[in-house]
Amino acid sequence: MLDDTAPERRLVRYSGRGAFSPGIIDRAEGSTVFTEDGRELLDFTSGQMSAILGHSHPEIVATVRAQIDRLDHLYSGMLSRPVLDLARRLAGTMPEPLEKSLFLTTGAEANEAALRMAKLVTGRHEVVSFARSWHGMTQAAASATYSAGRVGYGPAAPGNFALPVPDRFRPDIVDADGNLDWRRQLDLGFDLIDAQSVGSLAACLVEPVLSSGGVVDLPPGYLAALRDKCHERGMLLILDEAQTGLCRTGDWYAFERDGVVPDILTLSKTLGAGLPLAAVVTSAEIEREAHDRGFLFFTTHVNDPLPAAVGGTVLDVLARDRLDVRARELGERLRGGLGELAGRHPAIGDVRGRGLLVGLELVDGPGGDADKLGAAVTGRCAELGLHMNIVQLPGMGGTFRIAPPLTATEAEIDRGLEILDTALTDVADR
């Protein structure tokens, strides 16, 4: 019989693999979380990949205190100054024609709204996303998610198609030199989609860097080619920048590198810097068409003032402290250090990513178990004071998603590298 104070006694387990992380977290500050028993963990996941300003950032704390004392929640049809200000300022960070925003709570909710809008505007229902995608656990978002959670829940929404992932480390279609031939892969993917479609292709929903899919950065040129494939078929391109948006990759938005502006952009995690805030951003033309057709996405916390005020403070800090530049600099330091570790540890197969969203893939040799190795290294890192996150997919458990806060110090990056070095020596090099 379980102890009545044990987490498993009263909580529903929701991660798929069941177990919660060991220890009870008491508080967090900056890049560090503190357990009830006095341990300190360097947080290299920014909470749930969200706390880009670190934990308990003083300006976020001050905003929450001031705003909740004045105005926290309203009837969903009412507007407040924080919402209007955030919409204006968010548009100012983006290229034209992205200018109209809808503020929600989570990434799944934002993707749900974006897909609903795309279906209404196009008058179609079919959706394309990557074969290792993660877009959320609500109906349309879950139906466009292929990395996990499809087995045992009955039929997904009809008209969802998977596109092959352009993984340069593990390419499935190669050129004469053995490198990923992503153009041929993309052509083949859409040939198969066209063969299955009933002529109702509405949208393509993708991440510019697949995070849960293994931190796979789309090859330069891929996003533009994908946009062209979509527009040739009358589809809308929706980019999910839950984890890549707002300076994480070294640019304000990951799509900027490729010069590709999506028809609809979804933001979440990073916009609230750890608080529940998400956004759907689109053009005036698409918003007008959706409105004329009766677009409905009326939720309890749509356009709430408290999280909107936090979003405004997040934009303040990102711009003032030039955290896009900071993410590039820290990312170079992190990837350089991981490259040095790769030279000493044969278990490191690949280092990839952009800015402070970095993937580290372990390999365990022929017949080895990279999933088991990844879990062991993760556990050893936690024992030594570093919280790391492995991709929770069968066959990909040897891939780490490394995403420290953009406010981390050089010393914290170096400390994390030292701990990982020790963990690899203790576990992988034996």
Instruction: Please confirm, yes or no, whether 150 is among the known catalytic residues.
Output: no
| Candidate list 207, 241, 287, 361, residue with the active-site label | 207
| Candidate list 243, 287, 328, 361, residue with the active-site label | 243
Instruction: Please confirm, yes or no, whether 175 is among the known catalytic residues.
Output: no
The DSSP letter of residue 428 is T
Separation CA 273–CA 270 (nearest Å): 5
Residue 361 burial (C-beta neighbours within 10 Å; 0-12, 13-18, 19+) = buried
Separation CA 252–CA 245 (nearest Å): 6
Residue 423 burial (C-beta neighbours within 10 Å; 0-12, 13-18, 19+) = buried
The H or E element spanning position 236 is: strand 236-240
| Candidate list 251, 354, 401, 412, residue with the active-site label | 401
Instruction: Please confirm, yes or no, whether 243 is among the known catalytic residues.
Output: yes
Strand partners, 264: 238, 282
Nearest to 138 by CA among 153, 128, 124: 153
Instruction: Please confirm, yes or no, whether 207 is among the known catalytic residues.
Output: yes
Nearest to 327 by CA among 254, 414, 248: 248
Instruction: Please confirm, yes or no, whether 269 is among the known catalytic residues.
Output: yes
Residues 6+ apart with CB under 8 A from 91: 98, 99, 100, 101, 281
Q: Which residues are the active-site residues?
A: 134, 207, 240, 243, 269, 401
